[in-house]
Amino acid sequence: MLQRILVTAAVLLRLATGLDNGLALTPPMGWLTWQRFRCNTDCLNRPDTCISERLIKTMADLMVKEGYKDAGYEYIMIDDCWLAKNRTKLGKLQPDPDRFPSGIRALADYVHNLGLKFGIYEDFGTHTCAGYPGSEFYLQLDAMTFAEWEVDYVKFDGCYSDRRDFDAGYEAFGFFLNKTGRPMVYSCEWPFYQSVSGIKPNYTAIQQTCNLWRNHMDIQDTWDSVQSVIKYYGTDDGNFSSYAKPGAWNDPDMLTIGNFGLSYEESKVQMAMWAIWASPLIMSTDLRSISPEAKFLLQNKHLIAINQDPLGIQGKRIAFIKGTAIEVWSKPLSNPSGSFALAFVQLPNPGDPTLFSVRTGDVGLVSPNGYTISDGFTGEEEVTTKSPDDVLKLLVNPNGVILFVATPVQP
Ligand SMILES: *[C@@H]1O[C@H](CO)[C@@H](O)[C@H](O)[C@H]1NC(C)=O
Ligand SMILES: *[C@@H]1O[C@H](CO)[C@@H](O)[C@H](O)[C@H]1NC(C)=O
Ligand SMILES: *[C@@H]1O[C@H](CO)[C@@H](O)[C@H](O)[C@H]1NC(C)=O
Ligand SMILES: *[C@@H]1O[C@H](CO)[C@@H](O)[C@H](O)[C@H]1NC(C)=O
């Protein structure tokens, strides 16, 4: 009951404001433990891959040394399983003492000294998804603790909670984050849990409260999982794509590129779609053993430029190619005006590359003066169209993508 009253008071104060923390004006880019390292707490038998300060420091070093920081990746984040099983006697969160012997503040300092930013995970419910202490009944104290530790980004999960409390609860935690005075990116799981519980997410409220929010299931390291996200984003239930804007992003979850489950073509599809959607680019892979191909995709400056375009418009599915399983996606870009990214994605796998023809005017190439079209992965100029009645003949690989950037020809 007390919690409810506190939450209500916080929400009343919040409604007058809305989220204005000046952060995530382009989709956040970083690295997060979960997809690749899960809840491995067994540092005795698997010291190199357990969730520990050692893992975070190692990955942070590699983000700098291997060029990820220069490519734009900025946040390094721990997901679940960093906590001790109990709070301190005074109710404060504390990390597992064996795996984080120096404490979280020292780890944040280490990350900051590399010129990176530091992110952490908690949960709105009584427990985190893996069963560690949750923030319910401690929202204000936990926000203050994160600020004291100089955290820059909080991922806030929704296990072990009543989803009907989310509208008030996520706003309350956002309110307390704001009151700390320390700008922290606020990543919410709010609409995802509500959708799976049959509650229609209020995207207006979510967009005013969170910098990013998860809509769909946790990503898995499989092509099926990536396809399921593409379908969900194509259906665009509740028109959620229209709520993305600078400071507020739909989050299809981590990039699985660099792990075990995706072929190179499938990895290209993932990177292209995440770029088209203006999605947060959150890697979760072992930077010690990543292949050169995966690294090339994750650091691809052309794809990153599409993703980070300052307009911050989430691309949409605009057409299907008749008689094929090919979807067409498009995302407006700022510079030069009228330019856009255009993707042809083949789902599912027909076993053989598919040759198809498309009238340019049917996929948004409507300028009467035509367009210069360059390859979205290499930047190389490919073709020039002359009018909306031109026909492009294209060959797309199974589970593959053709990505273009189209720039209108000036008259
Ligand atoms: C808190 O919210 C106010 C009002 O929206 C905003 O101006 C301020 O920058 C926010 N501060 C932080 C630390 O998020
Ligand atoms: C955590 O707290 C509970 C309840 O106070 C107690 O029963 C348990 O032994 C504690 N666990 C640890 C690991 O200290
Ligand atoms: C959704 O949230 C907005 C902003 O908080 C609020 O004004 C509106 O009434 C809410 N809509 C519904 C259907 O609850
Ligand atoms: C989706 O939102 C956009 C932008 O607010 C609006 O123009 C469009 O009509 C909406 N579409 C549907 C199907 O509601």
Question: What string of pLDDT tens digits covers the 411 residues of the chain?
Answer: 445 545 555 554 554 445 889 999 999 999 999 999 999 999 999 999 999 999 999 999 999 999 999 999 999 999 999 999 999 999 999 999 999 999 999 999 999 999 999 999 999 999 999 999 999 999 999 999 999 999 999 999 999 999 999 999 999 999 999 999 999 999 999 999 999 999 999 999 999 999 999 999 999 999 999 999 999 999 999 999 999 999 999 999 999 999 999 999 999 999 999 999 999 999 999 999 999 999 999 999 999 999 999 999 999 999 999 999 999 999 999 988 999 999 999 998 889 999 999 999 999 999 999 999 999 999 999 889 999 999 999 999 999 999 999 999 998
276 shares a domain with 345: no
CA 251 to chain centre: 4
- Joined together, the tokens standing for residue 384 give 């020039």
Q: Residue length, the chain?
A: 411
323 shares a domain with 231: no
Cα–ligand 3 centroid distance for 169 (angstroms): 15
Which residues, 6 or more positions from 73, have their beta carbon under 8 angstroms from its beta carbon? Answer: 29, 30, 31, 63, 281, 283
pLDDT given at position 167: 96
298 shares a domain with 341: no
73 shares a domain with 99: yes
In angstroms, how far is the first alpha carbon of the chain from the final one? 67
- The residue range of the domain holding 391 is 316-408
Spatial CA neighbour of 264 closest among 236, 303, 291: 291
403 shares a domain with 290: no
254 shares a domain with 194: yes
Q: Cα dist. 239→87, 189, 316 in Å?
A: 41, 18, 10
> Pick the catalytic residue: 79, 142, 152, 157?
157
Residue 152 dihedral angles phi and psi, to the nearest 5°: -110, -10
Which residues, 6 or more positions from 161, have their beta carbon under 8 angstroms from its beta carbon? Answer: 123, 124, 125, 126, 134, 136, 169
By the 8 A CB rule, do 245 and 289 touch? no
By the 8 A CB rule, do 124 and 173 touch? yes
293 shares a domain with 391: no
Last residue of a domain, one of 307, 329, 349: 307
By the 8 A CB rule, do 268 and 297 touch? yes
d(CA 239, CA 409): 32
Q: How many domains does the chain have?
A: 2
Pocket-forming residues, ligand 2, beta carbon under 6 Å: 85-86
The residue whose CA has the least distance to atom 2 of ligand 2 is 86
Strands (E), 259-362: 281-283, 316-321, 326-332, 340-346, 354-359
197 CB under 6 A from ligand 3?
A: no
197 shares a domain with 169: yes
| Total-model pTM | 0.95
CATH number at residue 320: 2.60.40.1180
- Is 218 one of the annotated active-site residues of the chain? yes
